[in-house]
Structure 1
Amino acid sequence: MKYILVTGGVISGVGKGVIASSFGTILKNCGINVTSIKIDPYINIDAGTFSPYEHGEVYVLDDGGEVDLDLGNYERFLNVTLHKDNNITTGKIYQNVITKERKGDYLGKTVQVVPHITDQIQEWIEKVAKRPVTEGGKIPQVCVIELGGTIGDIEGMPFVEAFRQFQFRVKKENFCCAHVSLVPQPRSTGEHKTKPTQESVRTLRGLGLSPDIIVCRSEKPFGETVKEKISNFCSIAPNQVITIHDLSSIYRVPLLMESQGVIEFLNERLQLNITIPRPPDFMKQWRDLADKIDNLQNVVNIALVGKYTKLEDAYASVRKSLQHASTEIDYKLEIKYIEAENLEQKTLELNPVLYHKAWQQLCESDGVIVPGGFGQRGIDGMIEACNWCRINNKPLLGICLGLQVAVIEFARNVLEIREANSAEIDCQIDAINTFIVKMPEHTDGDAGGTMRLGKRITRFVKGNSVIKQLYGNVDEIEERHRHRYEVNPEFVPQLEMAGLKFVGRDTEGQRMEILELQKHPYYVATQYHPEYLSRPFKSSPPFLGLVLASTGKLESYLASRLTPQQSSPTIKSDNDISEMNKSES
């Protein structure tokens, strides 16, 4: 087993996750099986109880693990299925050590950070690194490990010490350290400054780790002079300094890294036996994708009506899923983030400018997405967005909470049950108005890890539906969930009688998973989170449907899929289809 440790310096958020994913992508394109581990030094057991404003979105895995959003990057770049143990936190490590101590596993010894905590970290990494993450079940050959935070953080010290020991445990030829550091360019001087990187590397070396590769992040490209300066002052060869400036898309990062000789260095450093030189079409799929994104001309505008719009990372997977879908049909994505509260009547009274701006953005959009969330804040604004899309035939995709507010809106304005609500929003609500209820097995208890989590089966009911066609007319699908509330099954017949059909349900037929509004261009909502399984080369069907409907191409796309020999249909506009039908007649 080979290990690549990715550390960060100067500031957090410098792009370690994308760079770690790019290391894996490059190696995977060389035919090497790769897995990834993300280490988060915080004391939380997992990311499940985080506010999105604290740490961005909470990413959910097949096994129900609530993990850091960087694991989403790993899964999307490498097309693998990771496990909850691929996310290590200080809380998990200490919990394991304390459990062992209570059992008497340490035979009366004083339990200390060194060696007990550091040993637990190393044992965890060695165990998880060997766990298969692909369908074939092959044991990975390389494990890319990202250490969260920055070097010098007090929370990360036990992990740095663990890796100082680990490099000797696995031997030098099996361990490589890549340090990602910011090279700023102050406006006052106009030149790139290497001192922060020098200090960061000095701190890392002082803790017992010497970087084999220094990845320099900068806003703009810099020349060989700066690169040589970093090489001289950080005591590494020039070919070990990799420069990554801000690029047009994250899919250009592995291409830029590969062009600077990363494969040649890793091949020699880790003795990987990679065939060099590589074929001319090496990483062609990624190059074509990056070129396609850069050259898109047509634009689709999607309004995201959410609760955490001040931080884009709160909806990282949703944003990427929309991009996957829009790129697939040759459209450039423009997202307008609309704070749900700004659509509410109370905002009109307090701040008319915000209110009218939010409504203008909503009305000018081609399609609308209402993503997941928790709590009462912004619910009325989400309901207003659903109402506007339903009445004006605007394409809508609701996810998790988005499905629940769509049900509430329909009950209030179509069934005319004005007090219809969710038990999450109003805990004192009467049973006759409770359209969204708490799942019986997820009542009271701890907040973390107690929701309906992970991959579950959804079965389509008999009959045809748009979303079923988008999934390929299969009978059942598997998607990842993260929720504690669900549609009250007692009201389902009443809702369906009025035209809101629940076309997908759980295996028992009691839990509503997918709804569709009849006689609407695209009004779909899912209880599960389809964004977690979207990939750059295989977009999620609900997102694809939203973008197709928003660009007027949904009907033609579905019609083209009815032709078996047309495996890769040419997507025409619905107007083109109408003209074709007229000419054929």
Structure 2
Amino acid sequence: MKYILVTGGVISGIGKGIITSSIGMILKSSGLRVTAIKIDPYLNIDAGTFSPFEHGEVFVLNDGGEVDLDLGNYERFLDVNLCRDNNITTGKIYHHVINKERRGDYLGKTVQVVPHITDAIQEWVMNQAMVPVDENKEEPQVCIIELGGTIGDIEGMPYVEAFRQFQFKAKRENFCNIHVSLVPQPSNSGEQKTKPTQNSVRAMRCLGLSPDLIICRSATPIDMAVKEKISMFCHVKPEQVICIHDVSSVYRAPIILDEQGIANYLKERLNLPIVDSASNLLFKWRNLADRYENLQKTCSIALVGKYSTLRDCYASVFKALEHSALAINYKLNLMYIDSIDLEQTTENEDPMKFHEAWQKICKADGILVPGGFGTRGMMGKLQAISWARTKKIPFLGVCLGMQLAVIEFARNCLNWKDADSTEFDPNTSVPLVIDMPEHNPGNLGGSVRMGLRRTVFKTENSMLRKLYGDVPFIEERHRHRYEVNPNLASQFEQSDLHFVAQDVDGERMEIMELANHPYFVGVQFHPEFSSRPMRPSPPYLGLLLAATGNLNDFMQQGCQLSSSDRYSDASDDSFSEPRLAELEIQ
């Protein structure tokens, strides 16, 4: 097993997740089996209890693990399915060690950070690195480990010490360190400064780790003189200094790394069995990046949520929309709208925000209401859903978005004025959305339906079934506590709203579609978590197809996707079947 540790310096949020994912994709394109681990040095057991405002979205895995959003980047770039143990937190490590101490596994010894915590970190990494991540069940050959935070953080010290020891346990030919650092460029001088990188590398060396590669992040391309200066003062060769400047899309990052020879360096440094680094996968990725930068037409989607101030709160939703837009040769214009701004309430006292929010809604080619929790901004979401339904604007509701779409239809089309969710009104006279059947209010732990679950189509006359490839069932990731009341669902049968798919027991409403509408779809699951750059999520693809006026043509073609001409020249804006060829929806 080969281990690559990715650390960061100077500031957090420097892009280690994208760089880690890009390196993994390059190595996978070279024919290697790659896995990835993210280390988060916080005391939380997992990311499930985080506020989206503080930490961005909670990414959900197949096994129901609630993890850091960087694992979403790993899955999208590597096109693999990871598990909850690929996300290590300090809370998990300490919980593991304390449980062993309570069982008496340490035989009365004093339990300390060194060696017990550091040993636990190393054991976890070695064990998880051997877990297969693809269908062939073969063990990975390379494990890339991203250490969250920056070098010098107090909470990260046990991990740095663990890997200081681990480099000798694994041996030099099996372990290397890549350090990502910022090269700032103050506007007053315009000069790129190397001192922060020098200090960061010096601090890491003092802790016992020496970088094999230094990846410099900057706003503009780094001058050769700056690169040579970093090489001289950080004790590495010039070819060991790699530069990534700000680019138009993350799809360009692997290309920049590959052009600077990172695959060849890692091949020699770790003696990797790389035969041909210019594989078909990397070629497709390069064309993907080129197409993204040459898109001409634009499609505007309004995302109506409650966490619009931090875009990372909807990272996977944005990526799923972007994947779908790129597949049909459109550039995505995503308009974030705080649902509270759509309401005329005391909470929204700024009339300018109110008018700006509704202007965006009016301009949108499609409307998306994503998942979420809580009552704040609920009325604004309902108003956006009502607008999409009555004005025939393509709409997709995800999780809470689907529940609200059902409530809106019941109130305004079935005249159930008191229809509501028990999440918002526990005493509602028409509990249209209720707690899950197995939910125990006295035990909140584990009360969320989580992970990959099967959804069975109940009819062949379903738009979403056709988009999924006319399959009898699908499997998607869930994360919810409330569901449409199955006792009331049957009363929609004579209306235009149909529940076209349910769970395997027929108790949970999983997909709803509205008849006599270009595209009005709600899903209880979260399809964005399984979207990939070259295999977009069908519900999001349907939204983009409808928003661009191409859905009917696509449906008339039988949703058949050709395998030729996968990445055509984006300068031709015509819509045709080959442009969707990369989807290969099974």
Give the TM-score normalised by structure 1: 0.95
Q: Give the 5 Å matches for 1:5-20.
A: 5-20=5-20
Amino acid at match of 2:75: E
Secondary structure of the residue aligned to 1:350 is coil
Alpha-carbon contact 2:7-2:179 (below 8 Å) kept? yes
Aligned partners of 2:91 and 2:446: how far apart in 1?
14
Structure 1 residues 560 and 347, CA gap change in structure 2 (3 angstroms): farther
Amino acid at match of 2:232: N
Structure 1 residues 349 and 295, CA gap change in structure 2 (3 angstroms): closer
Identity %: 59
Give the corresponding residue for 2:581: none
Amino acid at match of 1:91: G
517, 521, 527: which is aligned to 2:518? 521
539, 550, 553: which is aligned to 1:553? 550
Aligned partners of 1:195 and 1:313: how far apart in 2?
30
Aligned partners of 2:140 and 2:567: how far apart in 1?
38
Shift of 1:279: 4.8
1:125 aligns with 2:125: yes
Give the corresponding residue for 1:465: 462
Secondary structure of the residue aligned to 1:303 is strand
Deviations 1:262-298 (A, max 9, x none): 111101110113236x558672101100000000000
Give the corresponding residue for 2:336: 337
Q: Give the 5 Å matches for 1:468-483.
A: 468-483=465-480
Give the corresponding residue for 1:422: 421
Structure 1 residues 443 and 473, CA gap change in structure 2 (3 angstroms): same
Alpha-carbon contact 2:288-2:567 (below 8 Å) kept? no
1:267 aligns with 2:267: yes
1:508 aligns with 2:505: yes
Shift of 1:345: 2.1
1:359 aligns with 2:348: no
Secondary structure of the residue aligned to 2:215 is strand
Amino acid at match of 1:226: V
Structure 1 residues 141 and 280, CA gap change in structure 2 (3 angstroms): closer
Secondary structure of the residue aligned to 1:108 is coil
Alpha-carbon contact 1:48-1:448 (below 8 Å) kept? no
Q: Give the 5 Å matches for 1:22-171.
A: 22-171=22-171
Shift of 1:415: 1.2
Alpha-carbon contact 1:113-1:158 (below 8 Å) kept? yes
Aligned partners of 2:70 and 2:296: how far apart in 1?
30
Structure 1 residues 66 and 563, CA gap change in structure 2 (3 angstroms): closer
Shift of 1:118: 0.5
Give the corresponding residue for 2:298: 299
1:240 aligns with 2:240: yes
Give the corresponding residue for 1:324: 323
Structure 1 residues 562 and 183, CA gap change in structure 2 (3 angstroms): closer
Alpha-carbon contact 2:164-2:209 (below 8 Å) kept? yes
Aligned partners of 2:347 and 2:576: how far apart in 1?
38
Q: Is there any run of 5+ residues in structure 2 with no aligned partner, and where?
A: 578-586
Aligned partners of 1:120 and 1:359: how far apart in 2?
53
Secondary structure of the residue aligned to 2:493 is helix
Give the corresponding residue for 1:229: 229
Secondary structure of the residue aligned to 1:421 is strand
Alpha-carbon contact 2:469-2:559 (below 8 Å) kept? no
Secondary structure of the residue aligned to 1:269 is helix
Identify the range of structure 1 (475-484 vs 443-452) with the bigger mean alpha-carbon deviation: 443-452
Amino acid at match of 1:232: M
Structure 1 residues 448 and 23, CA gap change in structure 2 (3 angstroms): farther
Give the corresponding residue for 2:438: 441
Amino acid at match of 2:263: I
Aligned partners of 1:171 and 1:25: how far apart in 2?
24
Give the corresponding residue for 1:492: 489
Q: Give the 5 Å matches for 1:378-417.
A: 378-417=377-416
Secondary structure of the residue aligned to 1:345 is coil
Secondary structure of the residue aligned to 2:479 is strand
Aligned partners of 1:575 and 1:19: how far apart in 2?
34
Alpha-carbon contact 1:4-1:145 (below 8 Å) kept? yes
Secondary structure of the residue aligned to 1:405 is helix
Deviations 1:132-180 (A, max 9, x none): 0001111100000000011111111111111011001110110010010
Structure 1 residues 575 and 241, CA gap change in structure 2 (3 angstroms): closer
Shift of 1:438: 0.4
Shift of 1:445: 4.9
Structure 1 residues 347 and 252, CA gap change in structure 2 (3 angstroms): farther
Structure 1 residues 47 and 448, CA gap change in structure 2 (3 angstroms): farther
Aligned partners of 1:508 and 1:448: how far apart in 2?
24
Secondary structure of the residue aligned to 2:478 is strand
Q: Is there any run of 5+ residues in structure 1 with no aligned partner, and where?
A: 577-585
Amino acid at match of 1:156: G
Deviations 1:362-406 (A, max 9, x none): 010000000000001011111001101000000000000001110
Amino acid at match of 2:502: R
Secondary structure of the residue aligned to 2:521 is strand
Give the corresponding residue for 2:345: 346
Structure 1 residues 367 and 265, CA gap change in structure 2 (3 angstroms): same
Identify the range of structure 1 (81-90 vs 406-415) with the bigger mean alpha-carbon deviation: 406-415
Alpha-carbon contact 2:284-2:567 (below 8 Å) kept? no
Aligned partners of 2:440 and 2:409: how far apart in 1?
26
Aligned partners of 2:75 and 2:126: how far apart in 1?
20
Secondary structure of the residue aligned to 2:227 is helix
Amino acid at match of 1:320: K
Alpha-carbon contact 1:560-1:566 (below 8 Å) kept? no
Alpha-carbon contact 1:553-1:573 (below 8 Å) kept? no
Structure 1 residues 4 and 498, CA gap change in structure 2 (3 angstroms): same
Alpha-carbon contact 1:302-1:333 (below 8 Å) kept? yes
Aligned partners of 1:319 and 1:293: how far apart in 2?
15
Structure 1 residues 220 and 574, CA gap change in structure 2 (3 angstroms): closer
1:536 aligns with 2:533: yes
Amino acid at match of 1:508: D
Give the TM-score normalised by structure 2: 0.95
Aligned partners of 1:165 and 1:307: how far apart in 2?
45
Identify the range of structure 1 (343-352 vs 311-320) with the bigger mean alpha-carbon deviation: 343-352
Secondary structure of the residue aligned to 1:48 is coil
Identify the range of structure 1 (448-457 vs 235-244) with the bigger mean alpha-carbon deviation: 448-457
Shift of 1:463: 3.1
Deviations 1:469-503 (A, max 9, x none): 10011000000000000000111121232211001
Aligned partners of 2:527 and 2:548: how far apart in 1?
20
